[in-house]
Amino acid sequence: MSAINQSAFVLQLTDKQLSQLTAASLNIAPAWPLDQMIAVNPLWQMRDQPIEQVSARVSALNNIHYLMPQQYYAERYAQGEINPAALRLAAKQQQSALSVVELVDYLDQPISAAHWHNIADLLDAQREQHKMTWRDEIVHQISQFCAAYYQNKSHQSASSIDINQQVKASSLYSHWLEITRYDKGLSILMDEPGLNQWFAQLPQEPELLLAQALDELHITDELVEPYAHALLLDINGWASWIAYLRWQGELYSTPNNDMLQLIAIRMAWELVIWRYVKAQQHHRFTALAAAWLTEKNQLPHLIRQHEQINKPLWVWAKAAELSYQNCLNTQLVSADKQTVTTAKLQAAFCIDVRSEVIRRALEAQSNDIQTIGFAGFFGLPIEYQPKGRTLARPQLPGLLKPIIRVSQIADTPVQTINTKARWQAWTQSAPAAFSMVESMGWLYAFNLLKKSFFASGCAHPINRLTHQTHWHLEKESQPLSVSDKAQLAQGILLAMGLTEFATTVLLVGHGSHTTNNLHAAGLDCGACGGQTGEVNVRVLAQLLNDVEVRVELERLGIQLPTTTRFVAALHNTTTDRIECFASELESEVVLWLQGATALAQRERIVNIAPQMQKRSAQALDKFYQKLSRDWSEVRPEWGLANNAAFIVAPRSWTRNIDLKGRCFLHDYQWQNDQKFALLTLIITAPMIVTHWINMQYNASVADNHKYGSGNKLLHNAVAGHIGVFEGNGGDLRIGLPMQSVHDGKKWMHQPQRLSVYVAAPRQAIEQIVAKHDNVRWLVDNEWLYLLRWADDAVIERYYQGRWQVQEVNTHESLY
């Protein structure tokens, strides 16, 4: 054994090996913590490659599915949701020679492809059934260690630094090695005598461990990257958390190298069990070595095999997308455009798909109402700091870094909030179900009964702090001047396209109201960093109502009428009520808002509780209120499920179309956009966010085991906010719970790539795509569809530098 250590000591990672390991580590997308949960494309880091290749890669390396099973497409075809014309067109675009008949027959054929197996997997194939599997135990052990490690890190950072700052990189690997060496129970648990001593021989430095493992396992340079990627996919949840730390580190210039150390930890397990079996189970090692050689030899070919096998399935996926596009195209080109010339009420909403329903309901109240779609953080690059606190939370998309800090001027009782926060954190911890009942006895039992039969509202304790009227804004610890505020307001008004102003202008943020929901932030505003939009709309209303700011705005060329008042409001997406933060509103406006709530509630009840469709408006409202307070409710709302398109165009073009709550709507008038600066911003920011949302829902449906978080009834919070375990162990779960995408009988989200419609000149779109890599990759690698909606009712797709007119088939039934 000492000979092994001495010979391995001189090994060093080569530049090529380090480069390949780094490349593998960069394949993992970040997953935001529960209290700042935003949707992310779990394959985002590989967007520079065609989506079909990336899908084949994760399928080959870890048996991960991005495409739906054959039965799903067969059912949609039988129901007429995929039509033969779309199927033929999809086959043509996918360069498939299969006919419609052959493609239909394919859905009944069994398809399978071998996928990569790590050493742990190969040993499990030989392992007695009564023994714990190596894969499960390795994942469990690493996951439990990471939970404890990052919980301690989180507590340290919360007490010493800003919540938005990155915790300095620490020795993740060396700490794991120290803990594992002292874990004498591993040998007993795995029923493998002497296993523990092999951890004692591992080097202290992760680089040396990686060099040893790659050498002893005979991993050639061309296999380093896919092998390391496969290992990370085994523990994808924690890899995603570390990718988040890396993301934040890059955002705040505090580098983090934990991902390489995580690879070292996972590879250390491979090396330990390899050495253990080689030394103590000679008969098994011979079979293991042969199987391992076969795995390595076939790895370069696996991804290509998965690509070929899934080609017909991609035809079906595209056919489903083209069928939806055809239906939407027909609506768009045939719609009657309606412009509101003199509005009595203007209301700006987030582009969130749930806003499409409430906007349509509000517009139905009067032709004098104008609604506007704009990014939910309302262009404010802010973070919110509760008064008297050192911590701050971002109120803007995860792609961006806040540059302005806001805090309320009014005093807030702090001790009560602290107590509530500590209580909430305790109730969300993994052992809470046992320790709280044992510790609190009948008191906690009474609370459980009260929540079950006498449910009441339950706001997040931090959100209670935001209900203030007066706000302080500062940048780099200096208060914003009137000039600074005016320039900020000017940019926002121009971006919103507001040139004429009604007497009342509602600035409507949004947030969900649910109880006992660890994923509650995922139902709030993604544009506001997984928070409600309340802070943003309150701050913006204060800016735009400020007399001094208005005077300065007039010097900048924007004149706000003295009769115009901006009112902050919040759309509760669970109940569809709109709460206005103003002492008085015109009675007509109040009636309009109430009417909009009633209409939206009735429209959504079909998917929430169809048995109540014929009930009165009062009964429906009461039902929704109860739903938002029910701590046992696993489906309080459907969030952004079934999102499918992002439309960047004047609202007048879509006002008379029922888009079924499936479209993100961003108002845009290209004639008013000098040098297309606003269009550039929309395509490089909101479009990315909507793509992330779309892909998170798609992935959570297609493979809920890897990219979803499973059964929310079994969830336990990890460190209060990092993420969830399903049960008390296994990998950290990311993505959406099954209950967020499935109603128990059918999928509530149809996985399909986002269709982006932009009403702008060809040249402007071409230039933006060419200038920005992220956009070009998404378009040319088919992560989404970029379509142009022209003034002459022509719709055409931009793909790999060419325009393709989309045929609108109004003769075949699609739905």
In this prediction, residue 162 carries a pLDDT of 44
Q: What is the mean pLDDT of residues 524-537?
A: 93
DSSP summary character for residue 481: P
Clarify whether residues 286 and 361 are in a common domain.
no
Whether residue 352 is annotated as binding a ligand: the answer is: yes
pLDDT digits (tens, 9 = 90+) for 183-196: 888 888 898 999 99
Please report whether residue 243 resides in a domain: yes
In degrees and rounded to multiples of 5, residue 673 shows phi and psi of -105, 95
In this prediction, residue 813 carries a pLDDT of 39
Tell me, rounded to whole angstroms, the distance of Cα 21 from its chain centroid.
26
Please report whether residue 255 resides in a domain: yes
User: What span, in angstroms and rounded, lies between the C-alpha atoms of 685 and 596?
Assistant: 30
Please report whether residue 734 resides in a domain: no
In this prediction, residue 467 carries a pLDDT of 56
Range with lowest mean pLDDT among 144-158, 418-432, 598-612: 418-432
In this prediction, residue 791 carries a pLDDT of 85
Per-residue pLDDT band for 455 (boundaries 50, 70, 90) equals low
User: What span, in angstroms and rounded, lies between the C-alpha atoms of 278 and 275?
Assistant: 5
265: enclosing H helix or E strand: helix 258-280
pLDDT digits (tens, 9 = 90+) for 9-55: 468 999 999 999 999 999 999 999 999 999 999 999 999 999 999 99
Q: What is the mean pLDDT of residues 175-179?
A: 95
User: What span, in angstroms and rounded, lies between the C-alpha atoms of 144 and 176?
Assistant: 11
What's the burial of 420, exposed, middle or buried (CB within 10 Å: 0-12/13-18/19+)? middle
* Full residue range of the structural domain in which residue 412 is found: 345-638
Please report whether residue 199 resides in a domain: yes
**DSSP code string of 204-218:** SSHHHHHHHHHHHTT
In this prediction, residue 409 carries a pLDDT of 86
Q: What is the mean pLDDT of residues 645-661?
A: 97
Per-residue pLDDT band for 768 (boundaries 50, 70, 90) equals very high
Confidence check: pLDDT of 5 > 70: no
Please report whether residue 535 resides in a domain: yes
Report percent pLDDT > 70 for the chain.
88
Clarify whether residues 279 and 376 are in a common domain.
no
User: What span, in angstroms and rounded, lies between the C-alpha atoms of 317 and 311?
Assistant: 10
DSSP summary character for residue 782: T
Clarify whether residues 33 and 164 are in a common domain.
yes
Q: What is the mean pLDDT of residues 632-637?
A: 92
Query: Which residue would you say has higher pLDDT here, 434 or 30?
Result: 30
- Residue 328 Cα distances to 321, 399, 425, 663, 814, angstroms: 11, 30, 45, 10, 10
In this prediction, residue 418 carries a pLDDT of 42
Confidence check: pLDDT of 169 > 60: no
Tell me, rounded to whole angstroms, the distance of Cα 445 from its chain centroid.
35
Report percent pLDDT > 90 for the chain.
78
Per-residue pLDDT band for 388 (boundaries 50, 70, 90) equals confident
Confidence check: pLDDT of 598 > 80: yes
Clarify whether residues 12 and 133 are in a common domain.
yes
pLDDT digits (tens, 9 = 90+) for 87-122: 999 999 999 999 999 999 999 999 888 999 999 999
In this prediction, residue 618 carries a pLDDT of 97
Average model confidence (pLDDT) across the chain: 90
Clarify whether residues 486 and 369 are in a common domain.
yes
Clarify whether residues 417 and 536 are in a common domain.
yes
Whether residue 510 is annotated as binding a ligand: the answer is: yes
**Of the candidates 326, 381, 350, 390, which has an alpha carbon nearest to the alpha carbon of residue 159?**
390
Confidence check: pLDDT of 427 > 50: no
Nearest-Å Rg of the Cα atoms of the chain is: 28
Clarify whether residues 283 and 365 are in a common domain.
no
In this prediction, residue 389 carries a pLDDT of 77
In this prediction, residue 36 carries a pLDDT of 93
Per-residue pLDDT band for 436 (boundaries 50, 70, 90) equals very low
Tokens of 539: 């701050």
Clarify whether residues 390 and 513 are in a common domain.
yes
- Residue 660 Cα distances to 354, 361, 642, 698, angstroms: 9, 12, 9, 18
Per-residue pLDDT band for 344 (boundaries 50, 70, 90) equals very high
Q: What is the mean pLDDT of residues 161-189?
A: 74
User: What span, in angstroms and rounded, lies between the C-alpha atoms of 350 and 686?
Assistant: 11
Q: What is the mean pLDDT of residues 163-170?
A: 42
Please report whether residue 458 resides in a domain: yes
553: enclosing H helix or E strand: helix 547-555
Please report whether residue 807 resides in a domain: no
Q: What is the mean pLDDT of residues 254-266?
A: 95
Burial 312-340 (b: 16+ CB within 10 A, else e): bbbbbbbbbbbbbbbbbbeebbeeeeeeb
Question: Which residue, 599, 619, 638, sits at the end of a domain?
Answer: 638
Confidence check: pLDDT of 165 > 90: no
Whether residue 525 is annotated as binding a ligand: the answer is: yes
Clarify whether residues 146 and 277 are in a common domain.
yes
DSSP bridge pairs for 569: 508, 580
Q: What is the mean pLDDT of residues 704-715?
A: 96
In this prediction, residue 154 carries a pLDDT of 73
Question: Which residue, 239, 272, 297, sits at the end of a domain?
Answer: 297
Query: Positive or negative CA dihedral for 458, 463, 464, 466?
Result: negative
Please report whether residue 685 resides in a domain: no
Clarify whether residues 277 and 396 are in a common domain.
no
Range with lowest mean pLDDT among 105-114, 221-230, 736-745, 766-775: 105-114
In this prediction, residue 583 carries a pLDDT of 78
Clarify whether residues 291 and 358 are in a common domain.
no
Clarify whether residues 146 and 283 are in a common domain.
yes
Range with lowest mean pLDDT among 166-175, 539-548, 705-714: 166-175
User: What span, in angstroms and rounded, lies between the C-alpha atoms of 435 and 150?
Assistant: 22
Domains of the chain: total: 2
